[in-house]
Structure 1
């Protein structure tokens, strides 16, 4: 029996990483503040997957903003997950409170 449609499981677009690799999976921006003085401040976000060969994977939520002093002008991780042989560790920095 054959499938009626493609399930998209073909590996023709897949890539294998065999050395260190940093990949920006998604980028977006928003205005997370509701107060009248800060509501126009824009925060840029990016979701980064960093593969460290023979070590593991880091998944990082990084932010930056030129409009507000709550975040740095350069990309900085506010939340990340480290995946290693011994397990996974989720770290959330205090700056992440501004994003909920």
Structure 2
């Protein structure tokens, strides 16, 4: 399994937050800094610690490689989140409603 239960929980919470806060304005600078820290370091590090505690004392090279691959996995999720936020910011408030077609 490429991702664990903690990762499923994070992805579920992220989807719920995206749906809930889709219509609110996001400040670009604060969102980029917070997203970079969360997906770049904090979430993969927490996920790595949880996976290592689940394994226990016996670790082989596969387990160590598997836990270090948490970082690229969260980086990919972070890039997807940036794309979603970019799409949201590119939609102007007038375009969200159905515009009348004038011919």
Q: Specify if TM > 0.5.
A: no
TM range (shorter): under 0.3
Give the structure with the larger helix fraction: 2
Higher strand share: 1
Higher relative contact order (CA 8 A, sep 6+): 2
